[in-house]
Amino acid sequence: MKSNLLNGDRTNNACEVWNNAFASLVGHQHPSIWVLLDAMQMDEAMAVTDIQAEARAQPPAKRVKRATAQHQRRLQQLCADRRDGRKTVAEMLQALGHAIRLTV
């Protein structure tokens, strides 16, 4: 909850983030060696670009869907309400039950 209130990462696994990004670069489950090498070269080029931007104090802007941003704000507000005593545990759980999005 603390990370949510501080606008931190939503996952504690940085490898998961890289793995998802790399999987989207590759594009399919069983790539040929050439497709894999191309994806690795693209990943390296993106990493170098990010490092150079960070060195210039220009971190890359994250693209966030409007619905995701609204959902994140709602969760932050719920956490703040609980922290400040505006919601009981039962009210918090009920509100979270309404706010959770299930994807299949």
Q: Is 3 a residue whose pLDDT tops 70?
A: no
Q: What mean pLDDT comes out for the span 98-104?
A: 70
Task: Indicate the average pLDDT of the chain.
Answer: 84
Q: For position 1, what pLDDT does the model report?
A: 52
Contact at 8 Å (CB) between 3 and 9?
A: yes
Q: Is 8 a residue whose pLDDT tops 70?
A: no
- What is this structure's pTM? 0.48
